[in-house]
């Protein structure tokens, strides 16, 4: 399962990108609003951090299909060929997806709560479908189960679309999708950090260092002893 950063906080993205094996960055209008800067200024800075070959996902804002296509063309022009244009999985969005796909622009279908939305998006040309795992849970349904249903639909109907699971509150939800072999998950920086935030891990590493210091002296490493 590919891991993608879901954030527009530049210092956090730089840190996560430096330390963890991520495939790209996703954004949405709400995330960009938190950055408090012109959207393309932020997106271009993210692109400069992750490079031209990593995935960058940015969302259309227009509410009609023609406007979504214009937004998609501008996003692709500004951010390069490895940019995925996020399009809401709604009627105007499906119409737009067909045109955007025809234009050779990669699509991430977003705001997905049901398997049928994902099915229609895949058939309309989306490369990714992004179910909102935690938001589905909050509606009283099982977000992990919905993601697995979508994956099953894609496989059995030979639809060339992957899941890009989104909306997580904790690492356990991400782990559950890893076990199912979901294509990708986009996760906030703070949740990614929580993957290895564990006092037992820190204690084990410190014990190794203390034992080694007792053997060869403090401040020594394998390179210097």
SS3 for 4? strand
Catalytically active residues are 86
173: left (phi over 0), alpha (psi -120 to 50) or beta: alpha
Provide the b/e sequence for 23-60 (b: ≥16 CB within 10 Å).
ebbbbbeebbeebeeebeebbeebbebbeeebbbbbbb
Element (H, E) at 15: helix 10-19
Asked if residues 53 and 82 have their Cβ atoms less than 8 Å apart, the reply is yes
**First-to-last C-alpha distance (Å) of the chain:** 39
Residue 185 to residues 126, 181, 192, Cα–Cα distance (Å): 16, 11, 11
What is the spatial distance between Cα 146 and Cα 126, in angstroms, rounded to a whole number?
18
Angle, CA of 222, 223 and 225, to the nearest 5°: 65
CB neighbour list of residue 196: distance below 8 Å, 6 or more residues apart: none
């Amino acid at each position: 399962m590919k891991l993608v950063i879901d954030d527009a906080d530049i210092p956090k993205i730089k840190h996560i990108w430096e330390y963890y094996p991520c495939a790209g960055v996703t954004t949405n209008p709400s995330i960009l609003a938190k950055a408090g800067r012109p959207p393309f200024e932020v997106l271009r800075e993210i692109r400069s951090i992750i490079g031209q070959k990593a995935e960058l996902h940015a969302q259309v804002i227009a509410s009609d299909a023609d406007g979504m296509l214009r937004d998609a063309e501008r996003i692709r022009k500004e951010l390069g060929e490895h940019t995925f244009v996020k399009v809401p999985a709604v009627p105007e969005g499906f119409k737009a997806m067909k045109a955007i796909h025809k234009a050779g622009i990669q699509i991430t279908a977003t705001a997905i709560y049901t398997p049928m939305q994902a099915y229609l998006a895949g058939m309309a040309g989306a490369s990714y479908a992004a179910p909102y795992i935690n938001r589905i849970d909050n509606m009283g349904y099982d977000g992990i189960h919905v993601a697995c249903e979508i994956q099953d639909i894609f496989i059995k109907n030979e639809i060339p679309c992957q899941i890009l699971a989104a909306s997580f509150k904790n690492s356990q939800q991400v782990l559950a999708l890893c076990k199912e072999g979901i294509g990708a998950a986009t996760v906030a920086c703070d949740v990614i950090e929580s993957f290895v935030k564990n006092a037992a891990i820190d204690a084990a590493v410190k014990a190794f260092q203390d034992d080694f210091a007792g053997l060869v002296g403090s401040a020594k490493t394998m390179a210097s002893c």
